[in-house]
């Protein structure tokens, strides 16, 4: 053997590919292990032990958020009570709601138990989503529709209120919600409507919400603070309107054919 030819009897390319495969497997293993910091162990539909999956759940780690708040993951969390029952006594059978699915968080109306604090902007640390009346320096562009004063129409063609303000996202510069003052027959008060679940009719000065009936506008989740919406309130509100597309009418739960 020639002096200095240390790798003369080794296949360097083969060793390199083995090292690459090993490193790639280790990376996938680490990523999947980190995935298990949230949502594990799984709670099965059937009676029995929890599902931990592979790779195992990693030890708890403390994460410091941008606002200085610390979050532990994984962390002990209580098992949620599902307000629905299975139609058949076997695993995988569909669930049917036992109460008002729009507020009970069932099916498409489900929501996550997020922090009950507002989302904040990175630049000034103030709430991102606020009504236009409190957003200094923000206004609706002249070429855009100003929906304030428009009537809100339910899917049974009844007027349920009128738009009193617009909620904007100060970070994204878009309209997130429309603030509606309800008619007295529905209890009055102010609620907000997600802009993605309504139709604006400019010529008729109307806001259409085609999957909620007038009586369902009476139970729209309300805000604790009239000028701020929290992450939890956002999830509940979006769940309410998303659930209305399925649970708004009883017939929507039945087969099409």
Q: What is the pLDDT of residues 164-210, one digit of tens each?
A: 999 999 999 999 999 999 999 998 899 999 999 999 998 889 999 88
pTM: 0.80
- Confidence band, pLDDT 50/70/90 cuts, at residue 51: confident
Predicted pLDDT of residue 86: 85
User: The domain that contains 114 carries what CATH number?
Assistant: 3.90.50.10
Residue 58 lies in a domain: no
169 against 47, higher pLDDT: 169
CA 152 – CA 66 distance, rounded (Å): 39
Residue 83 lies in a domain: no
**What tens digit of pLDDT does each residue of 110-162 get?**
998 888 999 988 888 889 999 999 998 899 988 888 999 999 999 888 999 99
Q: Is the confidence at residue 3, as pLDDT, over 80?
A: no
Residue 244 lies in a domain: yes
Residue 188 lies in a domain: yes
CB 148 within 8 A of CB 205: no
Parallel, antiparallel, or unpaired for β 95-97 and 70-73?
unpaired
Q: Is 153 helix (H, G, I), strand (E, B) or coil?
A: strand
Q: Is the confidence at residue 1, as pLDDT, over 60?
A: no
- Confidence band, pLDDT 50/70/90 cuts, at residue 253: confident
Residue 26 lies in a domain: no
Predicted pLDDT of residue 5: 62
Q: Is the confidence at residue 227, as pLDDT, over 90?
A: yes
Average pLDDT across the chain, whole number: 88
Percentage, residues of the chain above pLDDT 70 = 93
3-state secondary structure 84-107: EEECCCCCCCCEEECCCHHHHCCH
In the predicted model, what is the mean pLDDT of residues 12-31?
94
Residue 15 lies in a domain: no
CB 118 within 8 A of CB 228: yes
Residue 43 lies in a domain: no
Report the candidate in 183, 227, 180 with the shortest Cα–Cα distance to residue 207: 180
CA 14 – CA 257 distance, rounded (Å): 59
CA 134 – CA 190 distance, rounded (Å): 16
**Buried (b) or exposed (e) across 56-77, using 16+ Cβ within 10 A?**
eeeeeeeeeeeeeeeeeebeee
Instruction: Domain count for the chain, please give it.
Output: 1
Residue 63 lies in a domain: no
The residue range of the domain holding 222 is 108-253
In the predicted model, what is the mean pLDDT of residues 72-88?
85
């Amino acid at each position: 053997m020639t002096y200095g030819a240390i790798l003369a009897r080794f296949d360097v390319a083969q060793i390199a590919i083995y090292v690459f495969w090993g490193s790639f497997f280790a990376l996938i293993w680490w990523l999947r292990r980190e995935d298990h910091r949230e949502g594990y162990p799984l709670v099965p539909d059937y009676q029995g032990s929890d599902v931990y999956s592979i790779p195992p759940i990693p030890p708890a780690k403390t994460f410091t958020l941008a606002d200085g708040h610390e979050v532990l993951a994984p962390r002990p969390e209580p098992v949620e009570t599902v307000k629905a029952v299975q139609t058949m006594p076997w695993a995988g059978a569909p669930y049917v709601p036992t109460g008002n699915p729009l507020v009970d968080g069932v099916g498409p109306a489900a929501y996550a138990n997020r922090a009950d604090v507002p989302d904040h902007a990175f630049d000034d640390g103030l709430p991102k989503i606020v009504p236009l009346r409190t957003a200094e320096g923000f206004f609706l562009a002249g070429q855009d529709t100003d929906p304030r004063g428009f009537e809100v129409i339910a899917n049974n063609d009844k007027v349920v209120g009128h738009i009193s303000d617009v909620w904007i996202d100060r970070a994204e510069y878009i309209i997130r919600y429309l603030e509606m003052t309800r008619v007295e027959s529905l209890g009055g008060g102010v609620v907000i409507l997600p802009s993605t679940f309504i139709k604006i009719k400019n010529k008729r000065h109307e806001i259409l919400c085609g999957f909620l009936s007038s009586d369902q506008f009476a139970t729209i989740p309300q805000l604790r603070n009239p000028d701020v919406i929290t992450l939890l309130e956002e999830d509940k509100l979006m769940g309410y309107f998303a659930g209305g597309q399925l649970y708004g009418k009883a017939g929507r739960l039945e087969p099409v054919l």
